[in-house]
Amino acid sequence: MTRKPGERVLWDIIRGYDSLLVSYSGGVDSTLLAVIAGDVLGTNSRAVFLDSPLVPRAAVSDAKKTAGDCGIMLDIVKAPVLVQPEFIANRTDRCYTCKKILAEVLLDHASSHGLARVADGANISDLEEHRPGLTASTEAGIVHPFIEAGIAKKDIRRIARDLSLPVWQKPSAACLASRIPYGDTITAQKLLMIEKAEAFLACRGIGQLRVRLHGTTARIEVHKEDWGTVLEQHEQIAKKFRSLGFTYITLDLEGYRSGSMDEIL
């Protein structure tokens, strides 16, 4: 396959690492990075999925399956985020705090496997959003090959499609804590409510979605073309959400948008 200049740079960057641990979520970014690292570095690369209550159980299963389908050597490691008071407090620098915690786990895992570097799937499209976690990862020494190569999200999807990766169209995901407003304490119970609510909507044929938790109110964000599905099934959705502990269930009239909780910043 003929590669464009930016893609050749990406392969060369990864080839320049003696060995590499890829922070892996099962999404298109980290899957592509892990596949390229495996192709270029062979057994000197592997991937790690950091498991915690911030991650839906379905995402863990999907990540394992994707790794198996793509031939990625994968480890599952627990990440102790909900024992850190700074993270639970959910300040506006929550992502920075979280990534510092996760970076320590990643670097320890890399060291224990004799891997020289740790990389993540951050790309230049991420630079357009509020991403304090990216700063924390960079400070910890984690590298960002896509950013170094000038690769954007649309490029990643195109390359993944060209490589026939099954996740090339997979919707973007974010940790469950991103559904809770800054200043509201993060608890395992809240995260589980959100996880179950989003899983319920996903099973009803809705793709890209978020359930934001405001006290006991659910604010549902879906693309406008999915509003009809939500409204047609509003009784079943309301009944299910109330059984999960929500008091009020709302549909956001601005539709789905990444990082809507950051709009107050």
Report the pLDDT value the prediction gives residue 63, as an integer from 0 to 100: 96
Please write the tens of the pLDDT for every residue from 211-248: 999 999 999 999 999 999 999 999 999 999 999 999 99
Please write the tens of the pLDDT for every residue from 51-71: 999 999 999 999 999 999 999
CATH of domain 176-264: 3.30.70
Please write the tens of the pLDDT for every residue from 162-196: 999 999 999 888 899 999 999 999 999 999 999 99
Please write the tens of the pLDDT for every residue from 1-17: 556 656 889 999 999 99
Which regions of the chain carry the CATH code 3.40.50.620? 5-162
Find the mean pLDDT for residues 95-118. Answer: 96
For the chain, give the secondary structure using H, E and C.
Answer: CCCCHHHHHHHHHHHCCCCEEEECCCCHHHHHHHHHHHHHHHHHEEEEEEECCCCCHHHHHHHHHHHHHHCCCEEEEECCHHHCHHHHCCCCCHHHHHHHHHHHHHHHHHHHCCCCEEECCCCHHHHHCCCHHHHHHHHHCCECHHHHCCCCHHHHHHHHHHCCCCCCCCCCCCCHHHHCCCCCCCCHHHHHHHHHHHHHHHCCCCCCEEEEEECCEEEEEECHHHHHHHHHCHHHHHHHHHHHCCCEEEECCCCCCCCHHHHHC
Domain 5-162 is of which CATH architecture? 3-Layer(aba) Sandwich (3.40)
pLDDT of residue 210 exceeding 80: yes
Report the pLDDT value the prediction gives residue 265, as an integer from 0 to 100: 63
Please write the tens of the pLDDT for every residue from 89-99: 999 999 999 99
Which of 114, 113, 85, 95 shows the shortest CA–CA distance to 54?
A: 95
Confidence of residue 263 (pLDDT cuts 50, 70, 90): confident
Question: Which residue would you say has higher pLDDT here, 187 or 262?
Answer: 187
pLDDT of residue 135 exceeding 70: yes
Which regions of the chain carry the CATH code 3.30.70? 176-264
Report the pLDDT value the prediction gives residue 55, as an integer from 0 to 100: 96
Report the pLDDT value the prediction gives residue 147, as an integer from 0 to 100: 96
Confidence of residue 149 (pLDDT cuts 50, 70, 90): very high
Report the pLDDT value the prediction gives residue 172, as an integer from 0 to 100: 84
Report the pLDDT value the prediction gives residue 10, as an integer from 0 to 100: 95
Find the mean pLDDT for residues 126-133. Answer: 85
Report the pLDDT value the prediction gives residue 1, as an integer from 0 to 100: 53
Report the pLDDT value the prediction gives residue 171, as an integer from 0 to 100: 86
